[in-house]
């Protein structure tokens, strides 16, 4: 960390635009530190919420993504004398002009964990606390994915994707839901189109959930299941739902090896991050989402109170997708695999009834 000379100039910017190498003014206004790496944590709606800025030499700052922070302006001349330990700030003026007189006051001036405000530089939290960053693993996580032998367990489609859809639609001429989806898909299936992938996933769920056609559902789902993760969460959500459904169907029909392949494909994106710190942060966020899933309880109860059977069914279908996703992950720390099996059976009975 560097002491900030009086002549050094800083400029304000949003915390969400911090980059590696930026020299960030710390909350005490007396020191700056170089940003070693930046990680963004999203909220439950997918919007940037918290910026995790790891500092060169150790320590991490937690800053609200919309806050203003101050970084060293281009061309300014910071001092080159870095210190390994925290400096003694007794007698040094704080940003409000006061001077701490004790070691305890000095410690209160320079906490490492802060959340910035929206009105200027990051503000001091009421209870200063140092962030303890766990040590990095000795090596990066291994990428675990299905092998060629695993993929051989997934049958090749019998014909073009459009012909597969047409075949399953012909088997259910009285199902309006299937026919509406099939009419759109037989015109041409574009795997780069998010709406097309969503229609395929919806068709596979309609075949299994409403029509109990496990074979037809797997045939359609396999058009999605072999697609790799392309970095687009919107498109991947449809593939993810298809893989979770396929895993459940295969386990129910005794195809455990094939189900294990789908589980590997589902989890493949979780293992693609090679940076140990980012991988650890992503695993923490992922585990939290598994432990605290959205099962749409409020929405379902509200629909029941309003006697809106159609809305209740739609919310229960979303709950079913969430439960299938959790089951494909083997459960979580809060809901066991056995409990998930029971809940999935209950939801299937509810929407089919």
Note whether 53 and 35 are within 8 A (CB).
yes
- Whole-number percent of the chain with pLDDT over 90: 45
For residue 173, give every residue at least 6 positions away whose Cβ sits within 8 Å of its Cβ, in sequence order, or none. Answer: 179
Which residues are paired to 2 by β-bridges?
A: 32, 82
The architecture in CATH of the region 2-109 reads Roll (2.30)
In this prediction, residues 95-112 reach a mean pLDDT of 42
Burial class (CB in 10 A: 0-12, 13-18, 19+), 239: buried
Q: Is the pLDDT of residue 248 over 50?
A: yes
- The three-state secondary structure class of 36 is strand
Q: Is the pLDDT of residue 96 over 70?
A: no
Q: What is the model's pLDDT at position 74?
A: 63
Note whether 52 and 62 are within 8 A (CB).
yes
Strands 23-25 and 2-3: unpaired
Q: What is the model's pLDDT at position 342?
A: 95
- The CA radius of gyration of the chain, in Å to the nearest whole number, is 27
- The three-state secondary structure class of 250 is helix
Q: Is the pLDDT of residue 134 over 80?
A: no
What would the two tokens of residue 143 be?
A: 């990428």
Note whether 248 and 341 are within 8 A (CB).
no
Band the pLDDT of 1: cuts 50, 70, 90: low
Q: What is the model's pLDDT at position 268?
A: 86
Residues comprising the chain, all counted: 353
Domain ranges of the chain: 2-109, 148-291, 297-352
Residue 308 and residue 186: Cα distance in Å, rounded?
33
Element holding 313 (H helix, E strand)? helix 309-328
Strands 31-42 and 2-3: antiparallel
What would the two tokens of residue 221 be?
A: 């789902």
Q: Which of 22-26, 31-35, 324-328 ranks highest by mean pLDDT?
A: 324-328
Note whether 13 and 68 are within 8 A (CB).
yes
Phi, psi of 246 (to 5 degrees): -65, -40
Q: Is the pLDDT of residue 320 over 70?
A: yes
State pLDDT tens for residues 38-88: 888 777 666 778 888 888 866 778 888 788 888 887 655 444 443 334 344
In this prediction, residues 249-268 reach a mean pLDDT of 94
What would the two tokens of residue 298 be?
A: 């409020």
Q: What is the model's pLDDT at position 300?
A: 95
Band the pLDDT of 108: cuts 50, 70, 90: very low
Residue 239 and residue 226: Cα distance in Å, rounded?
9
Note whether 183 and 215 are within 8 A (CB).
no
- Shortest CA distance to 20 belongs to which of 39, 35, 2, 33? 35
Note whether 113 and 131 are within 8 A (CB).
yes
Note whether 41 and 52 are within 8 A (CB).
yes
Which residues are paired to 14 by β-bridges?
A: 68
119-133: string of b/e by CB count within 10 Å (b at 16+)?
eebbebeeeeeebee
Say what angle helices 233-252 and 214-225 make with each other, to 10 degrees. Answer: 140
Which residues are paired to 10 by β-bridges?
A: 72
Q: What is the model's pLDDT at position 176?
A: 94
In this prediction, residues 98-104 reach a mean pLDDT of 43
Residue 170 and residue 292: Cα distance in Å, rounded?
41
pTM summary value: 0.60
State pLDDT tens for residues 163-212: 999 999 999 999 999 999 999 999 999 999 999 999 999 999 999 999 99
2-32: string of b/e by CB count within 10 Å (b at 16+)?
bebeeebebeeebbbebeeebbbbbbbbbbb
What would the two tokens of residue 102 be?
A: 């004790």
């Amino acid at each position: 960390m560097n002491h900030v000379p009086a002549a050094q100039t800083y400029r304000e910017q949003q915390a969400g635009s911090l980059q590696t190498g930026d020299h960030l003014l710390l909350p005490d206004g007396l020191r700056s530190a170089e940003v070693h790496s930046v990680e963004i944590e999203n909220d439950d709606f997918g919007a940037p919420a918290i910026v995790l800025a790891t500092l060169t030499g150790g320590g991490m700052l937690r800053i609200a993504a919309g806050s203003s922070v101050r970084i060293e302006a281009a061309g300014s001349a910071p001092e080159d004398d870095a210190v390994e330990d925290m400096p003694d700030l007794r007698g040094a003026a704080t940003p409000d002009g006061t001077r701490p007189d004790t070691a305890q006051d000095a410690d209160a001036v320079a906490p490492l964990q802060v959340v910035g405000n929206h009105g200027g530089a990051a503000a001091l939290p009421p209870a200063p606390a140092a962030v303890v960053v766990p040590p990095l693993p000795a090596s990066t996580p291994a990428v675990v994915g299905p092998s060629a032998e695993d993929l051989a367990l997934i049958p090749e489609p019998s014909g073009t994707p459009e012909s597969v859809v047409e075949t399953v639609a012909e088997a259910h001429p009285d199902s309006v839901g299937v026919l509406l989806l099939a009419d759109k898909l037989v015109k041409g299936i574009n795997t780069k189109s998010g709406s097309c992938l969503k229609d395929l996933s919806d068709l596979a769920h309609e075949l299994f959930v409403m029509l109990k056609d496990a074979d037809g559902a797997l045939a359609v789902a396999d058009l999605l299941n072999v697609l790799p993760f392309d970095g687009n969460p919107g498109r991947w959500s449809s593939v993810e739902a298809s893989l979770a459904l396929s895993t459940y169907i295969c386990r129910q029909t005794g195809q455990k090896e094939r189900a294990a392949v789908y589980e590997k494909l589902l989890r493949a994106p979780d293992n693609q991050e090679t940076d140990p710190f980012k991988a650890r942060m992503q695993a923490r966020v992922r585990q939290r989402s598994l432990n605290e899933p959205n099962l749409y309880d409020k929405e379902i109860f509200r629909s029941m109170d309003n006697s809106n059977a159609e809305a209740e069914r739609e919310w229960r279908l979303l709950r079913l997708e969430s439960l299938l996703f959790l089951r494909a992950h083997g459960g979580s720390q809060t809901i066991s695999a056995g409990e998930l099996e029971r809940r999935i059976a209950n939801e299937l009975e509810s929407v089919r009834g």
